[in-house]
Chains A and B, each alone.
Chain A
């Protein structure tokens, strides 16, 4: 992958972020009626509304408001929460590690379990292993993550006290405390993605196995692990990486549900509270932060394509 391509992708990512920033900004502007009144609630006094309007800078022209907002944004100032009064940046910085940990671990679970199972199923096409993987994968897609989380917690944290049922321990308290709190929610969150990946991996493996270049490789004496590692994996990975990129964004959003079940205060719970309280600065901060993560994931996916598929490098 050439430097020019990386730059082009980066530029595209920046464009997406700018669009998101406009939409996020308009979130407050598009609220029907006076956002200040809406935020203040039914029993607010005129002074309250005026104070909120002043705080949000709603008295200035829209363009000026946006430019000022962008300026603050670039300095890392996302405003303050209307309720706790704490800065939005701080609020997100506090909640993000738990959510990113759950999401990251969920992706790891999904890749290891999903790609592994899909690979075996594809290689043993038509066997009982293949049928078992297909059945379990369908189940995995059908089961909602909060229910899986409840099942896992009841089995591994309540019936057997192997793992903590709720809560979160930051990584600085040690690898095991961190991991032990995350295993169950991350597994619950990642299971559906694992199932999705298993199906795509299986399909991709079956598709690649009948390609002429696999026959050529076999005709050269390649077989078993050698054939899988050198010829099958890279070629079969391309559609799987696409699916994984799409799923990463979904997992970040889906984290909300398992956070609630596992009693973890992360971005999800923060965002839900902000929505319920109409805490617009926090909502804006959450949306922007998620957009940045999704853009970064897509950038990583694009770079991975180039690494996997040499044809993309010149495209």
Chain B
């Protein structure tokens, strides 16, 4: 039996996302013989994260809200005590940030965007690079291997659910790190809420517009369709560069990664930089004038035509059918 693998749990004040399940899937795929030890940093309540064999609850006054430096210090100290066979997580913003801190403190390599990994001396890994347009085969030579998987590269196991609750869990162990007085200097000090309800990364449907939308006003029909479907509006990079939509709506390599049940791509050609942001969608519907556009040829469903005619017609048809029932 090898040493346990530590899985960093990205949570915001106790709330976890699907990325936690992906992290467990990644850990078990890499190290099937190792015990999976979830690491939950911060919070008063004892977390119950299902999907792990054991849980480390890391507690300290400086750790209660997210603080990248202090969380990195704490995880590094835990690793020094446990000597895990690896530290892994999913490549979320916090996942990559905390593991980068641990790697920097330990002066160990850190492999991000991993899509395949085989332990050994050295580890053989495969990483997605250039936004997924190329794969890199690499070796990872480390005393403490540190890896994050690319988002959605390891489908989550539906049998594991990740929640935090107040129920006591027999497999929880506490760890209290020793932190420097200024370790919490990068803590979150405030939050500004902009969106409520459905957000781009959690919406079951994303209706997304590209260059073909043509203007800021052109998004009115896309917004109407998204609202009817209980979805969110997304866009491509050219749209934010034109100032038609805020950058927060951008899907792609330099924007958000989404994995909705349905992605409706309107007037988006489907360059690789956009594709990597939405390729995890379960179904893709492309609406485009060009039947040879990559988005059309890679989509599950397509409508060839002018989105300015097609989308209002879809909106009307949905309203007509709803009125009839």
Same complex origin of A and B: no
A interface vs B, CB < 8 Å? Answer: none
